[in-house]
Structure 1
Amino acid sequence: MFDVLILQEAAADASTAAAKTVFGPMQMLEEGGVVTWTIAAILAIMSIVSWYIMLTKLFEQQKVLGQSKDAVKSFWSAPNVRDGANKLEKNSAFRQLVDDGLRADAEHGHFTDQLDSHEWMHSSLRRSQDAINAKLGTGLAFLATVGSTSPFVGLLGTVIGITGALVKIAATGNADIASIAGPVGEALYMTAFGLIVAVPAVMGYNWLQRRNKLIAERMSRFCDDLHGDLMSGGKIRPQVKAPAGAAKPAAATAKA
């Protein structure tokens, strides 16, 4: 009778101890030691830097895209290129293209050997555009690196966690399912952390690359129009649509 009571008390104590056992990321880090903490810190740094790059690049791209709509319209509504340049924001992407175009136009006459002005202007505007594209692409390589390597970093943490758990199980000799499933499940958190870091980085990289391509296309069209304007002395210019509010008075005047 007493043996039965003792066994029941032991079973109750074991169930209570199992209930008190908590599995989670913090337990994984505490049991993993320095190596697990180091891997977790690397993933955290990757995530923080990735989000910083994505937010800053999004702000830069949004600014350039806004300039490509409003500023360009005001630029081509000016009587000439120099007056239009004054309407553009200083240190902006499109202002840099205009300044480099005007500089190339002025420098062409200083060549000792004859050089085709169209070729010189085209190469100058292309260099300016490439410099802007390179600046907009800064940091995207880091996003690509994070997206491709962070799952493997997380997997490394999982392998180390599972190895440590198996070593402890072998040392204690307790190989029941409860002893194995808990530590192994904790180790899998590192793989999940790696994927959490990788997925936003990959999506952000692809999205920012697509927006950079859109900006490059708009700058290329602007450079072609600017090239035609400078080489024709202002005779070849793109047509700028007049605001809707300005068309109504003109129509009223025609009726009168």
Structure 2
Amino acid sequence: MGFQSFIAQADGVALFILFVLFIMSVGTWYYILTKGWRYYGAQNRSREFIRGFWAAPSIEAVARKLRSTGITDPFSHLVHHGFTAVEQHQSRNQNSLIDAGSAEEFLTRSLKRAIDQDKARLESGLTFLATVASSAPFVGLFGTVWGIYHALMAISLNGQGGIGQVAGPVGEALIMTGLGLAVAIPSAVAYNVFVRLNRNTLVQLNSFAHDVFTFLSTGLATGTLLHDVERTSDRMITRVQQTQQAGGV
């Protein structure tokens, strides 16, 4: 008697429950592995970019560096949005609603959009993990109830409650309970870990956005950024679109 025997004796309802739990488990581990790998790579690239940002002699040097390396993490994405806002504000159409407001207001909206986009990418997959963590135990519990129902039916048909009559259905109920927990626990742990990582990343990104706003608004006031920004933005817009389509962290 083993799991293969359990599969052989399972009816259609039990097999359907097993299939649902299997899909949940595959999806959970897919998000755990892919998002974990993306977080690891993004954190390394973010540290490298921030180190280079603060070591740069000027904001113009950052623009040249960004033009050569491209967008590789949320922080470089934020800086690129700032440079793009500078260029758009210099060549804006006064009749357009999106271009309304002062240079500082336009830059603030652009940086906020960048943070919102990164937040949406960071949170992709979390809804699935939360759904699995909350529903998988109940899916397993349904299988448990179905197994107990089979045990009661065996007792009713045989007129006695011997171990031979109820061992199979009770074993099925216990297996369903264990599978539900085995699917739910990794999903719940992964959800909490990713939420914590997202929160830390967004806190750092918001703090960094204040520094970027200060530097770029100063450059807007003096007019020293436009030359480098114009050369940077045209090449970077295509890379931003490719990054967004790839769904990177």
Same fold (TM over 0.5): yes
| Deviation for aligned residue 1:199 | 0.7
Paired with 1:146 and 1:189, the residues of 2 have a C-alpha distance of 18
Determine if the alignment matches structure 1 residue 40 to structure 2 residue 37: no
Structure 2 match to 1:72? 50
Structure 2 match to 1:156? 142
Letter in 2 for 1:34: G
| Deviation for aligned residue 1:182 | 4.5
Structure 2 match to 1:204? 190
2:86–2:220 CA contact under 8 A, matched in 1: no
User: CA deviation digits over 1:89-148, x for unaligned, max 9?
Assistant: 423222221221011112123242762222211111011111011011100100000000
Judging changes above 3 Å, is the alpha-carbon distance between structure 1 residues 157 and 130 closer, same or farther for their aligned structure 2 residues? same
Matches within 5 A, 1:114-193: 115-193=101-179
Judging changes above 3 Å, is the alpha-carbon distance between structure 1 residues 25 and 219 closer, same or farther for their aligned structure 2 residues? same
Letter in 1 for 2:183: V
Higher relative contact order (CA 8 A, sep 6+): 2
Structure 2 match to 1:217? 203
- Shift >6 Å, 4+ stretches: none
After alignment, is 65-74 or 200-209 more displaced? 65-74
Letter in 1 for 2:70: K
Percent of aligned pairs with the same amino acid: 37
2:103–2:220 CA contact under 8 A, matched in 1: no
Structure 2 match to 1:102? 83
Q: Any gaps of 5 or more consecutive residues in structure 1? A: 1-21, 236-256
Counterpart selection for 1:91 from 64, 71, 96: 71
Q: Any gaps of 5 or more consecutive residues in structure 2? A: 222-249
Paired with 1:82 and 1:55, the residues of 2 have a C-alpha distance of 38
Structure 1 match to 2:5? 27
Letter in 2 for 1:59: W
Paired with 2:200 and 2:136, the residues of 1 have a C-alpha distance of 29
Q: Does the residue aligned with 2:127 lie in a helix, a strand or coil? A: helix
| Deviation for aligned residue 1:84 | 1.4
Matches within 5 A, 1:232-247: 232-233=218-219
Q: Does the residue aligned with 1:233 lie in a helix, a strand or coil? A: helix
Alignment RMSD: 2.1
Letter in 2 for 1:60: R
2:130–2:187 CA contact under 8 A, matched in 1: yes
| Deviation for aligned residue 1:149 | 0.2
Paired with 2:163 and 2:94, the residues of 1 have a C-alpha distance of 85
User: CA deviation digits over 1:11-64, x for unaligned, max 9?
Assistant: xxxxxxxxxxx3x43333322212111111111111111011011111222222
Paired with 1:214 and 1:76, the residues of 2 have a C-alpha distance of 20
Letter in 1 for 2:17: I
Q: Does the residue aligned with 2:161 lie in a helix, a strand or coil? A: coil
Letter in 2 for 1:112: Q
Letter in 1 for 2:12: V
May I ask how many residue pairs the two structures share in their alignment? 213
Judging changes above 3 Å, is the alpha-carbon distance between structure 1 residues 234 and 79 closer, same or farther for their aligned structure 2 residues? farther
| Deviation for aligned residue 1:150 | 0.3
